[in-house]
Amino acid sequence: MKKKKLNLKDIKPNSEKEHSHDDGHDHSGQTNIFKAYIPAIISFTMLIIGIALDYFNVAFFNDWLRIGWYGIAYLPVGFPVVKEGWESIKKGDVFTEFFLMSIATIGAFIIGEYPEGVAVMLFYAVGELFQNAAVNRAKSNIKALLDVRPNEALVYRNDDYTSVSPEMVEIGEKVQVRVGEKVPLDGILLSEKGSFNTAALTGESKPDTIAKGEKVFAGSINMDGVIEIETTKEFKDSSIARILDMVQNATARKSKTELFIRKFARVYTPIVVFLAIAVTFLPYFFIDDYVFRDWLYRALIFLVISCPCALVISIPLGYFGGLGAASKNGILSKGASFLDAMTKINTLVMDKTGTVTKGVFKIKEVKAIGWKESDFMKYLMAMEEQSTHPIAKAIMEYKEDGEDFEAKDVSEIAGKGLKGIVNGKTILVGNKALMLANNIDVPTETDSIVESIVLVAIDNKFAGYVVIADELKEDAKETITTLHKVGIKNIMMLSGDKDSITQQVARELGIENAKGGLLPEDKLNEVEILKQNPNNKIAFIGDGINDAPVLAASDVGIAMGGLGSDVAIETADVIIQTDQPSKVVRAIKIGRSTRKIVWQNIVLAFGVKVIVLILGAGGLATMWEAVFADVGVALLAILNAVRLQRMKWAD
């Protein structure tokens, strides 16, 4: 059974519509939809008139006039199908739905059942129109992505801003973005701050405020004031280009259910054709009052019912709807097969930094001994000012009043810390080894602190310490609780951070199994051990380059798309655009809903078809029941699949 492949190239973004008017309505689209329904409207009108003339036994409506009337009514909807069936036969593909519907309806004309022949083809054509409408609805989320694809970039060249295609902009160039315009390429914000609508990229409707020096992603819409960015990637490597590529490729990766149904249809359809031939001729040898016309009619009903279009269309449409629903929620799956795989996950392994924590160091505690906290921090900040270490950056974010201190003669002591002069005082900043090397007593309370700690001594006397910690993401703890509720009982944390910190974060989140201090190969070994149990279906969530091997080895690799490295994103099967771990729960729920709807459609289609096939073979079903078993069930299955687009998932 061949259907036109869903292809994003067929969907044009708004900027490329051929006939758009200033009122914002796509009149050409409305006109095209109306034109598509004209043949069905003509056939339906003529069919109703013909049935009315038959019912009232109008004298002139008989013989050749009646045949001609119904023949003309048949052509608008029947000719395209017959033509398509003939083209398929010439290509060697005989058993298509076009062939089945052509034989069944032409056969109905041969035995004099003209109204039923027209009706079957009419309802089939209307069913096809509804299927196309459902496919277009399923494409809506992807079209929304295409609509945010930037069309131009204002680049600063030759002392002026020039409008060029985003593909022509090089890394490191300065680009201006006006209010309401789309950011054309990924970059760093040069302006003091900016507010951006990132809904198309992340699924989040709340505007995102970005500060100077932070990342801005292509496809975001500038909400407030003219801003400037410095590009960090070429357009082909930008976030929006990557999303479009992944979504397009996703439609080509079929689930096992979808592949099975397509293979099944190729075997099932010819079997039913031969059974229909048997229904026509075999009774001749066993029944005394055999009437060829009656048994041919039953065979034609058999053929109409046999069309597997309800299965072949509604199942991929169900998965396509699931992919669209996921992308609408900021979750990108690289194929329908991974939607299926998410439903089978029972073991979740996760990285720590950047996955359940923000990956940004913050001051958790300041303890000054014998000094005012503000003065203590001024000495420390003077020493850390020139350092680019993440811990130094966290310390420099501390807010204090008054004039800053200035450090002199600062030297680094390898593996221990810094030594320098601030306001005439000797300052030591570093770890416990630095303090002990200078005969400075350190309070024992510091030994129980598992987070990163910076010790400070002033004039060879211990002056206090600062605790630096990575913050948990707001939804991290709730995610673990919800994962347990949806049936993921086995959760494990693997981190390259030191084991004491990893264990503390695991305790805070309620994760019983955690290991820290791991190299990339150690993480991979841990997952390989889990995979030795064939009952374990493993998903791994990570964001760094060091997570790529484990992402590839897992049944489902899930990458954080915002802060995640390009390598991790390329290796993963599912991308969380918002960097929220709670979206993993949503991905599981969407996958389960998709699979549930697909199997509902399979049971519905098979169940109704089997019942009506039996009735048809026994002479208890007419063409009208056959139409319902084929087109009616297809429409019900399509409406069921479209529900995915309207569902709401709460984490």
Q: Contact 336/323 with Cβ under 8 angstroms? A: yes
Cα gap 458→437, rounded to integer Å: 15
Q: Which residues pair with 469 in a beta bridge?
A: 362
Cα gap 309→631, rounded to integer Å: 8
Cα gap 185→240, rounded to integer Å: 8
Beta strand pairing call for 461-472 and 490-494: unpaired
Q: Which of 500, 501, 503, 530 is nearest to 514 (CA)?
A: 503
Beta strand pairing call for 417-422 and 425-430: antiparallel
Cα gap 49→44, rounded to integer Å: 9
Spatial CB neighbours of 306, under 8 Å, sequence gap ≥ 6: 100, 268, 269, 272, 273, 276, 609, 613
CA distances for 110 relative to 46, 67, 68, 117, 276, angstroms? 19, 10, 13, 9, 16
Cα gap 142→120, rounded to integer Å: 34
Cα gap 475→358, rounded to integer Å: 11
Helix (H) or strand (E) holding 271: helix 256-281
Q: At what angle do helices 97-110 and 114-138 cross, to 10 degrees?
A: 160
Per annotation, catalytic residue among 351, 470, 543, 555: 351
- Within 451-519, residue ranges assigned H as helices are 476-485, 499-509
Spatial CB neighbours of 373, under 8 Å, sequence gap ≥ 6: 366
- Considering only CA atoms, give the Rg of the chain: 34
Q: Contact 537/344 with Cβ under 8 angstroms? A: yes
Q: Contact 417/429 with Cβ under 8 angstroms? A: yes
* DSSP of 391-435: HHHHHHT----SPPP-EEEEEEETTTEEEEEETTEEEEEE-HHHH
Q: Which of 311, 345, 355 is nearest to 511 (CA)?
A: 355
The Cα angle at residue 477 between residues 471 and 483, in degrees rounded to 5: 140
Cα gap 332→575, rounded to integer Å: 5
Q: Contact 69/115 with Cβ under 8 angstroms? A: no
351 is catalytic: yes
Q: Which two tokens stand for residue 417?
A: 């810390």
Query: Which positions are annotated as active-site residues?
Result: 351
